[in-house]
Amino acid sequence: MTTTNSQHISQQFEQELQDIRSRVLTMGGLVEQQLDNALKSLKKSDMDLAKSVMEDDRLVNDLEMKIDEECIQIIALRQPTASDLRLVTVILKAITDLERVGDEAHNIAQQTLNLSEMMHAKKSYGELSTLGNHVKGLLRDALDAFARLDVEAALAVAREVQEADVEYESFMRTMLTYMMEDPRTISRVLDMMWSARALERIAAHTHNLCEYVIYLVEGKDVRHLSVEHIEKVLDRD
């Protein structure tokens, strides 16, 4: 094989890797919009918007499958070396988390439909807004860190995920108190709690995205480690 041909193949491979990275960011934008619309539908009791969120889930699923297939073809045909294989592996993991974020946005939209049928449900929407806005911001920042391969930004998001967990636990305690004080609120509060649970799961998937950034840039697998332990592994004390 001539040097010219080798360079051409190398350039093609680099373009393929850039293309799938771009597709991942497109998918991230879709699920970010899904979550934003799901929260808006819940706040405004907008059933049409909720239904559109649920319909958009198909677009996210289709994109996940296309990216998955492209990654498999790259592994089979290009036999990537260590650093490129790490990128392809991270992308395969990231799209799984993004697809699940889309699923959780779908679940929040479903709760909109459930709550819209209940009298005075709208009065409780504000109780989720702080948590919802926080998690939405975490997802945005994690995607930005992924796009820029910024380890410090990824660490900052991972720290904030811990704060979101505290907010979630506080919200759940408040909801349990409501149910004990007035059993008539049980059905409505349970739907609110399901929405909060979806947001907690989105925060967890966001944390995973941060771990992938660290793995891709630093080559260190930090899964299942606390943020404090990750900082020690990376010498960020």
Contacts of 13-22 with C-beta under 8 Å, sequence gap 24+, read 13/74, 13/78, 13/80, 13/84, 16/70, 16/74, 16/78, 17/74, 17/84, 17/87, 17/88, 19/70, 20/67, 20/70, 20/71, 20/74, 20/88, 20/91, 21/87, 21/91
Q: For position 112, what pLDDT does the model report?
A: 87
With 60 as the cut, is the pLDDT of residue 3 above it? no
Q: For position 184, what pLDDT does the model report?
A: 85
List pLDDT tens digits, range 108-119: 999 988 877 664
Q: For position 185, what pLDDT does the model report?
A: 83
**Domains of the chain, CATH where assigned:** 3-233 (1.20.58.220)
CB contact set of 229 (below 8 Å; sequence gap of 6+): 222
List pLDDT tens digits, range 78-93: 888 888 999 999 999 9
Amino acid, single-letter form, for residue 236: R
Q: For position 121, what pLDDT does the model report?
A: 46
List pLDDT tens digits, range 64-78: 999 999 999 999 988
Which residue has 């305690």 as its token pair? 173
List pLDDT tens digits, range 221-236: 999 889 999 988 888 6
With 80 as the cut, is the pLDDT of residue 12 above it? yes
With 70 as the cut, is the pLDDT of residue 151 above it? yes
Q: For position 5, what pLDDT does the model report?
A: 53
List pLDDT tens digits, range 152-207: 999 999 999 999 999 999 999 999 998 999 888 888 889 899 999 999 999 999 99
What's the pLDDT band for 58 if we cut at 50, 70, 90?
very high
